[in-house]
Amino acid sequence: MGMATNPDHATRPDVLAAIGNTPLIRLRRASEETGCTILGKAEFLNPGLSVKDRAARAIVEDAEARGLIRPGGTIVEGTAGNTGIGLALVASVRGYRTVIVIPVTQSEEKKQTLRLAGARLVEVPAVPFSNPDNYVHVARRLAERIAAEDPAGAFFADQFDNVANRGAHEAHTGPEIWDQTGGTVDGFVCAAGTGGTLAGTAAALRAKNPKVAIALADPEGSALYAHYTTGTLNAEGSSITEGIGQGRITKNLEGFTPDHAFRIGDTEALDIVFGLMRAEGLSLGGSSGINVAGAIRLARALGPGHTIATILCDGAARYASKLFNPAFLRERNLPSPDWLDRPADPLP
């Protein structure tokens, strides 16, 4: 580490040491509307620009510690994109290759970022987990094939069922939020894809104070809201948000139960994303909108005066052709603010 007197200014041995320790930012409008202090953890500031860098680093370090991966070996993963971007950056620092299996429906921006990060991409149709051609199963089989053919071996990262993912948030995200709020945090809320962020952060905060209220913010089309409110894995509707929603209880979610669960539609989430962009200088992706909507619901459930933290998972640039494309939004009957359409101003 460097000689800086302020630990925030110390040099880092490599980019992996720049993952985490993200700022917790007060969200003005959400706080004013609810009389609570609503804070967003700026995960879009990680080196791979998303919350998933934390899981990627933890999964690779765990595999190294358990002897599951060798120099020159290949990391294989099925991912909506952000985990793959995190894994690709960890792999390039540590000397591995990356092969990413991604559903065709994910944004072009994420696919391009993966290619630039050096990952090989395998695009597959978006089919449910019960179908053997689902991206997670394709990734697992591909890892087995590469392991059989390449002497350097292959490792299936398995973010959904590899609890090193949850462990990253239990070891870092949760304790960071606790410290950053000086132990005053009353509630934590976020959506679940793998469930690593939600279950891991919740475990750390509950260990510090069992009274911290933990909430799930679930998009339409996910089965988790029904699971935690009625005990059935029923999914209804759909969402344009990426990386969140789940149809099963992953290993990262096993043993976890939220105190509250909210179901949030795209219109409500997008309105928040657009508002944060225009009024608070925060350029965020769709899952951050679901999370902040969830924080507002939790604030209303707890009442004024509480401190609630959530996750700002990734940035708007990753979704320019979707969430910020008026034609894409109109086709789906979603709100498209007029400033998105506005041509460049002429010179005055």
Q: How far apart are CA 329 and CA 335, in angstroms?
A: 7
Stretch that binds ligand PMP, among 9-17, 66-74, 192-200, 257-265 (CB under 6 A): 192-200
80 binds ligand PMP (CB under 6 A): yes
Is residue 111 part of the annotated active site? The answer reads no
Could you give the string, one character per residue 196-225, with x where binding to ligand PMP holds by CB under 6 A and - elsewhere?
xxx---------------------------
CA distances, 160 to each of 13, 132, 167, 220, 346 (Å): 29, 16, 12, 20, 50
195 binds ligand PMP (CB under 6 A): yes
Number of chain residues interacting with ligand PMP (CB under 6 A): 20
Q: Single out the residue of 113, 287, 307, 336 in contact with ligand PMP (rule: CB under 6 A).
A: 287
Q: Please, what's the largest Cα pairwise distance for the chain?
A: 66
Q: Single out the residue of 167, 187, 285, 315 in contact with ligand PMP (rule: CB under 6 A).
A: 285
Stretch that binds ligand PMP, among 56-64, 139-147, 241-249, 297-305 (CB under 6 A): 241-249
The catalytically annotated residue of 41, 52, 110, 322 is 52
Smallest gap from residue 51 Cβ to ligand PMP (A): 6
Closest Cα partner for 292 from 316, 318, 271, 315? 271
82 binds ligand PMP (CB under 6 A): yes
Q: How far apart are CA 215 and CA 232, in angstroms?
A: 18
| Neighbouring C-beta atoms of residue 180, cutoff 10 Å | 17
Closest Cα partner for 122 from 53, 76, 168, 83? 76
Instruction: Write the DSSP string, 98-155.
Output: EEEEEETTS-HHHHHHHHHTT-EEEEE----TTSTTSHHHHHHHHHHHHHHH-TT-EE
322 binds ligand PMP (CB under 6 A): no
Q: Which tokens is 122 given?
A: 């395998």
Stretch that binds ligand PMP, among 63-71, 187-195, 231-239, 299-307 (CB under 6 A): 187-195
Closest Cα partner for 114 from 141, 147, 79? 79
323 binds ligand PMP (CB under 6 A): no
Q: What is the DSSP letter of 315?
A: B
244 binds ligand PMP (CB under 6 A): yes
Smallest gap from residue 11 Cβ to ligand PMP (A): 29
Closest Cα partner for 259 from 305, 219, 294, 223? 294
Q: Single out the residue of 19, 20, 42, 52 in contact with ligand PMP (rule: CB under 6 A).
A: 52
What contacts 53, CB < 8 A, 6 or more positions away? 19, 20, 46, 47, 85, 86, 89, 90
Q: Which is nearer to ligand PMP, 74 or 197 (CB)?
A: 197
Smallest gap from residue 213 Cβ to ligand PMP (A): 19
State the catalytic residues: 52
- For ligand PMP, the binding residues (CB under 6 A) are 50-52, 80, 82, 191-198, 242-244, 285, 287, 313-314
